[in-house]
Each structure stands twice: as structure tokens, then as C-alpha cells.
């Protein structure tokens, strides 16, 4: 069964908007795990707009104690700055089960594209090597909605990555627009190319209760979905327990 890793960045956004420690990122993550989620994801940004370095350490302790996977996302090329030691330094200190490399910049509101593997592969290789030496499984953010993204996906395997995470924002847009069939076919092709290259396949961004089932029915081999924005929004209305239970029913199908 595809596993669910809950991204709790949005809890940190709410906390930071007021200051202080509430709502607690750790308490929210614990509630998600209590409800049946398989793991926790965070994507700390260098500007600390949501998840901070101290959150990463606290969540690492929680997931280790609970015996579940911690997925740490970030841009390996982003330089360290005050309050942010750099992605590799964070991984070195907490040793997440999975490190997901994402080509995001400070100006981006959210992650909105994958790596150009033909262009970026050799620059990524030393980071992949370093993370694997730490014992992390390495996943690289990848585009499935462009021909170049699909065709270049095998380069992730060549440089030693274990998985790719398909950026599903374009899929979610197509689902909402009623043009999903062609887009799902592109994602299925990307997943098959990745698996043919020996890569595991994850997926994430804008997945929700509404569109997840169709995605998993039409895109083969998805090992993990990372869901945050929609899930936290749904939990405002439904509660965390009911929301996680709904996702688990979708995954079980």
C-alpha cells in the first residue's frame, strides 16, 4: 500500500503568524501519527517562514521515538544563514530516513517545479553521495508534466538517487479543470520510466481527498505520498482523526 507522510509546514505557518509555541508542530504531528499516518514530512526554508531548525530536531526525536519515517525536504544549493545551517547540515544532525531534494528559491511561494536532471545531475551528485553516506534514502523532485522532465528522469538513477518525487501540482490543476486524463497518462509514463531506471516513485504537491484516488488508480508504483496543505485545510473542517482516516481509506483501495 502507498504510505502517507503528512507535511506539517502549515501548522508552523499558523504558529509563526502569532508567535509563541501554539499550535505545537510536534503535537500536531503526533496527532497525525495517532490517527494512522505513516510518517512526517517538513520542508524548512532558509528564511524560516514556517518550519525552523529547532522544529526539525524536535520532529526527528518524535518520529524516532514513534518508529516512523521522517522525510526532510530542502534545496541543497541554498546557502546557510542565521537560523538555518543548510540542508546537508540539518540532515547530518538528525539523519532523516529520507532526504528529498527540491529546487526551490526564496522568492517561490511554494515548490513549483522539479530538477532539470540533464542540466543539474552532476551538480546534484555530491549532495546525493553525502546524504547516502549519512544513511538517508535520497529522493529528487521531478517533473512529469513536461516531455523533458519525463525523458530526463533516468538521470536521477545514474547519480545514485533512490527515488524521485513527482511534482503533482499540474496534475491537481488538470483534475480541477476536468482535463485530467491526458495529464494522468503523462504521470504514468514518468512513473514507468522511473521504475524502469530502478527508482522508487513518490508523489506530492496539491494532492487531496478529491484527487488522490484517481491519481493512484492511474499512476503505477507510487510508494509514498506527501500531503500537507490540503490535508491540514481539510482537518480544519473534519478534524485530524477523520481526515487521516479518509486518506487511509483512499490508500487502502
- The catalytic site residues sit at 43, 73, 205
Interatomic CA distance for residues 126 and 12, integer angstroms = 31
Is the sign of the CA dihedral 110, 116, 122, 128 positive or negative? positive
DSSP string, 157-174: HHTT-SEEEEE-HHHHHH
Q: Helix, strand, or coil here: 137?
A: strand
Interatomic CA distance for residues 42 and 87, integer angstroms = 12
Query: For residues 46 and 106, is the Cβ–Cβ distance under 8 A?
Result: yes
Query: For residues 180 and 174, is the Cβ–Cβ distance under 8 A?
Result: yes
Interatomic CA distance for residues 62 and 51, integer angstroms = 15
Nearest CA to 73 out of 102, 93, 36 is that of 102
Amino acid at each position: 500500500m502507498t504510505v502517507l507522510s503528512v507535511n506539517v509546514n502549515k501548522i508552523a505557518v499558523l504558529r509563526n503568524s502569532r508567535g509563541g509555541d501554539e499550535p505545537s508542530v510536534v503535537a500536531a504531528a503526533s496527532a497525525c501519527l495517532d490517527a494512522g499516518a505513516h510518517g512526517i514530512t517538513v520542508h524548512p526554508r532558509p528564511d524560516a517562514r514556517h518550519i525552523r531548525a529547532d522544529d526539525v530536531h524536535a520532529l526527528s526525536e518524535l518520529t524516532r521515538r514513534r518508529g516512523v519515517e521522517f522525510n526532510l525536504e530542502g534545496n541543497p544549493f541554498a546557502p546557510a544563514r542565521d537560523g538555518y545551517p543548510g540542508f546537508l547540515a540539518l540532515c547530518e544532525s538528525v539523519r532523516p530516513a529520507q532526504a528529498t531534494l527540491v529546487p526551490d528559491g526564496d522568492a517561490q511561494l511554494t515548490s513549483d517545479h522539479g530538477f532539470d536532471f540533464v542540466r543539474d545531475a552532476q551538480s546534484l551528485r555530491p549532495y546525493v553521495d553525502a546524504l547516502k553516506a549519512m544513511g538517508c534514502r535520497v529522493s529528487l523532485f521531478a517533473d512529469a508534466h513536461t516531455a523533458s522532465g519525463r525523458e530526463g528522469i533516468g538521470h536521477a538513477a545514474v547519480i545514485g538517487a533512490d527515488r524521485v518525487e513527482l511534482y503533482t501540482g499540474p496534475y491537481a490543476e488538470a483534475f480541477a479543470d476536468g482535463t485530467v486524463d491526458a495529464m494522468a497518462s503523462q504521470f504514468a509514463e514518468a512513473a514507468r520510466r522511473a521504475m524502469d531506471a530502478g527508482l522508487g516513485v513518490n508523489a506530492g504537491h496539491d494532492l487531496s481527498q478529491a484527487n488522490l484516488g484517481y491519481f493512484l488508480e492511474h499512476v503505477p508504483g507510487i510508494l509514498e505520498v506527501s500531503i500537507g496543505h490540503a490535508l491540514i485545510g481539510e482537518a480544519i473542517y473534519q478534524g485530524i482523526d477523520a481526515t487521516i482516516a479518509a486518506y487511509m481509506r483512499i490508500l487502502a483501495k
